[in-house]
């Protein structure tokens, strides 16, 4: 099912066309990541979805409804929005920040309080110590989690995120990405996220949209972006030095293993990617490894030769 349909959308500021005839669609329950150089129109495209930026030409449909037919305030209450620097209200506690949209929507106090506690729990922020704190009493990573929790508070089907993890250091950033993936799977939320970080795009995206100078150059799966770049710019942006490893990080070991064998000296879990399997086999110094399921039962095997073949350009 389609959650967002963008039809030939253009944005102009005076004579400058900053988004130029973009068409794309986003499946319900998926994550679409928009990447591109600075000033390529990523944020503008995303902000037209919730009408923070007026559309000059074209149409955007969310859940089948033309966004122009929905009052802008209703649309923004329905669509979660998280930005870099999280935009928390400094004079409201963590609980009050998260409760903002449920209160605007008129939820009763018990339902709002229950949702605040649920979200704090999901983001590993113990309600008894965090609910009454103010934003300045939190670390950057904690503030960022509250920002995403606030965007999710009213159970939006759609969440727009503009560089949400941009200000975080790499370790906390990885954790924040994994939290987002877990929560997105649990709620089935559709996510559109803007980032500068290609690793983030490959880690999170079911679909990657590449923009340059207002135009959408390609919108496809991460695998296709790597193996069939539509344009030299796409190829350059995804980086050529580690594309074999990027591709392998997208491929699950489970889908590529050979039949099980006995007597192999080392075993890997089938849930990991080919990239992680390769790294582990280099580290362990083994040419071939058994593959096990979650109960440690043997389900297959993988050899170094096969792994190297799988990382090759098709």
Ligand X SMILES: Nc1ncnc2c1ncn2[C@@H]1O[C@H](COP(=O)(O)OP(=O)(O)OP(=O)(O)O)[C@@H](O)[C@H]1O
Q: Which residues bind ligand X (CB under 6 A)?
A: 13, 18, 36, 38-44
Q: Are strands 31-36 and 190-194 parallel, antiparallel or unpaired?
A: parallel
Shortest spacing between CB 198 and ligand X, in angstroms: 13
CB-nearer residue toward ligand X: 18 or 307: 18
Choose between 36 and 300: whose C-beta lies nearer to ligand X: 36
52 or 113: CB nearest ligand X = 52
Question: 204 near 30, Cβ under 8 Å?
Answer: no
Residue found by looking up tokens 């209200």 in the block:
89
Could you tell me the two tokens for 247? Answer: 């591709």
% helix, strand, coil for the chain, step of 5: 40, 25, 35
Shortest Cβ 37–ligand X spacing (Å): 7
CB of 14 to ligand X, least distance (A): 7
- The tokens for 154 are 């009213």
Residue 88 C-beta: closest distance to ligand X, Å = 20
Q: Helix, strand, or coil here: 159?
A: strand
Q: Are 276 and 256 within 8 A, CB to CB?
A: no
Closer of 18 and 216 to ligand X (Cβ): 18
Report in angstroms how near the CB of residue 180 gets to ligand X at its nearest: 19
| Nearer CB in complex with ligand X: 52/230 | 52
Q: Which residues contact 283 (CB under 8 A, 6 or more apart)?
A: none
């Amino acid at each position: 099912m389609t959650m967002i349909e963008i039809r030939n959308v253009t944005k102009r500021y005076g004579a400058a066309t900053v988004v130029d005839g973009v068409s794309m669609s986003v499946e319900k329950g998926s994550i679409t990541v928009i990447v591109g150089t600075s000033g390529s129109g990523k944020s503008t495209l995303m902000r037209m979805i919730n009408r923070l930026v007026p559309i000059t030409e074209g149409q955007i449909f969310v859940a089948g409804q033309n966004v122009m037919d929905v009052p802008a305030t209703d649309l923004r209450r329905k669509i979660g929005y998280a930005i870099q620097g999280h935009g928390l209200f400094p004079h409201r506690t963590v609980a009050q920040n998260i409760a903002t949209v449920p209160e605007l929507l008129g939820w009763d106090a018990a339902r709002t309080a229950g949702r605040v506690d649920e979200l704090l729990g999901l983001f590993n922020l113990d309600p008894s110590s965090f609910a009454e704190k103010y934003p300045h009493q939190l670390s950057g990573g904690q503030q960022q989690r509250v920002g995403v929790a606030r965007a999710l508070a009213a159970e939006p089907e759609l969440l727009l995120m503009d560089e949400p993890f941009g200000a975080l250091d790499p370790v906390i950033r990885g954790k924040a990405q994994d939290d987002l993936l877990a929560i997105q799977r649990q709620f089935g939320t559709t996510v559109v996220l803007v980032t500068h970080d290609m690793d983030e795009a490959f880690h999170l995206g079911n679909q990657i949209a590449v923009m340059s100078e207002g135009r959408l150059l390609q919108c496809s799966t991460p695998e296709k972006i790597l193996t069939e770049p539509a344009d030299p710019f796409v190829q350059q942006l995804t980086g050529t030095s580690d594309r074999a490893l990027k591709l392998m990080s997208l491929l699950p070991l489970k889908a590529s293993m050979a039949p099980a064998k006995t007597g192999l000296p080392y075993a890997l879990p089938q849930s990991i990617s080919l990239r992680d399997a390769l790294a582990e086999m280099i580290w362990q110094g083994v040419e071939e490894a058994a593959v096990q399921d979650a109960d440690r039962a043997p389900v297959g095997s993988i050899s170094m030769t096969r792994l190297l073949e799988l990382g090759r350009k098709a």
